[in-house]
Amino acid sequence: MTLILTDVTLTYPDGDARLTALDRVSLEVPAGSLTAVVGPSGSGKSSLLAVAATLVTPDRGQVVVAGTDTAALGRAEQAALRRERVGIVFQQPNLLPSLTAAEQLQAMAHLSGRPVRAARGRALELLDAVGLADKADRRPHQLSGGQRQRVNIARALMNEPAVLLVDEPTSALDHERGAAVLDLLIGLTRTRSTATVMVTHDRAHLDRVDATAAMEDGRLTALART
Ligand code: ADP
Ligand code: MG
């Protein structure tokens, strides 16, 4: 298993009390498979991704990413694990306005201290894999919303992550483009062997994912494998 959450509980301060965002959540995601996470707003979906990404430390429970128990790591080691082993696709692409599509990806190599020039080949290969081979030199304002989301996804794959975490990638897209992005994510999950978790509140097309986890009030209430 590439991503393992075991009995994870996460609380946030809430006045004098604590709000339970995740309540004893356990989830295992094998390499090369995609688990969708569904549930109403506020049910803990983004919190689950944040914990899996080591962006927040749970109060209790264990998070194992690519064989590494994250609790054993210091902040700097967690940051390195995140950079090297985890790809994160947020809802909003957050592309840098002055960089071309290829440069957005090359910048990831720079952040990891890898040679940026050598990264161009890999950037172009990934842009090709997301159907943007001919858009490599465009800046964000020269791309459609769907194309920007594809750049966002390609960028998350730049450092060959073992775990790919995607938060509502289709929410800003129409039905057809949303389906195409899901197809793309499933294909990339298979070819790049990532353990992928995708939050969505679009229940369409969920028959094509490997498993669906339902969240409610911080609890994982159902896990259906498809
Ligand atoms: P979802 O993504 O399913 O909408 P979230 O994981 O964002 O749900 O939120 C789960 C619960 O935790 C909500 O009640 C939300 O208000 C709360 N929450 C999320 N992030 C924070 C935070 N940084 N500080 C305090 N409460 C938060
Ligand atoms: Mg959310």
Tens of pLDDT along the chain (226 residues) come to: 899 999 999 999 999 999 999 999 999 999 999 999 999 999 999 999 999 999 999 999 999 999 999 999 999 999 999 999 999 998 878 899 999 999 999 999 888 888 877 899 999 999 999 999 999 999 999 999 889 999 999 999 999 999 999 999 888 788 888 888 899 999 999 999 999 999 998 787 788 999 999 999 999 999 999 8
Please list, residue by residue across 3-38, b when 16 or more beta carbons sit within 10 angstroms of its beta carbon and e when fewer do: bbbeebbbbeeeeeeeebbbbebebbbebebbbbbb
Q: Is 126 contained in some domain?
A: no
Q: What is the pLDDT of residue 201?
A: 80
Taking CA atoms only, the protein residue closest to ligand 1 atom 24 is 12
Q: How far is the CA of 167 from the centre of ligand 2 (A)?
A: 7
Q: What is the pLDDT of residue 124?
A: 97
Q: What is the pLDDT of residue 116?
A: 78
Q: Is 18 contained in some domain?
A: yes
Q: What is the pLDDT of residue 130?
A: 94
| Ramachandran class of 218: left when φ > 0, alpha when ψ lies in -120 to 50, beta otherwise | left
Q: Is 112 contained in some domain?
A: no
Q: Is 19 contained in some domain?
A: yes
Q: What is the pLDDT of residue 36?
A: 97
Count the domains in the chain: 1
Pick the atom of ligand 1 nearest to 47's CA.
6
Q: What is the pLDDT of residue 178?
A: 85
Taking CA atoms only, the protein residue closest to ligand 1 atom 5 is 44
Q: Is 206 contained in some domain?
A: yes
Q: Is 68 contained in some domain?
A: yes
Nearest ligand to the C-alpha of residue 171? 2
Pick the atom of ligand 1 nearest to 50's CA.
6
Q: Is 115 contained in some domain?
A: no
Taking CA atoms only, the protein residue closest to ligand 1 atom 15 is 42
Q: Is 154 contained in some domain?
A: no
Q: How far is the CA of 99 from the centre of ligand 2 (A)?
A: 28
Pick the atom of ligand 1 nearest to 44's CA.
6
CA 33 to chain centroid, in Å, comes to 13
Pick the atom of ligand 1 nearest to 49's CA.
6
Q: List residues near ligand 1 (CB under 6 A).
A: 12, 19, 21, 39, 41-47
Q: CATH number for the domain including 87?
A: 3.40.50.300
Transcribe the chain into DSSP letters.
--EEEEEEEEEEEETTEEEEEEEEEEEEE-TTEEEEEE--TTSSHHHHHHHHTTSS--SEEEEEETTEEGGGS-HHHHHHHHHHHEEEE-SS----TTS-HHHHHHHHHHHTT--TTTHHHHHHHHHHHTT-GGGTT--GGGS-HHHHHHHHHHHHTTT--SEEEEE-TTTTS-HHHHHHHHHHHHHHHHHHT-EEEEE-S--TTGGGSSEEEEEETTEEEEEEE-
Per the structure, the complete domain to which residue 179 belongs is given by 3-96+161-225
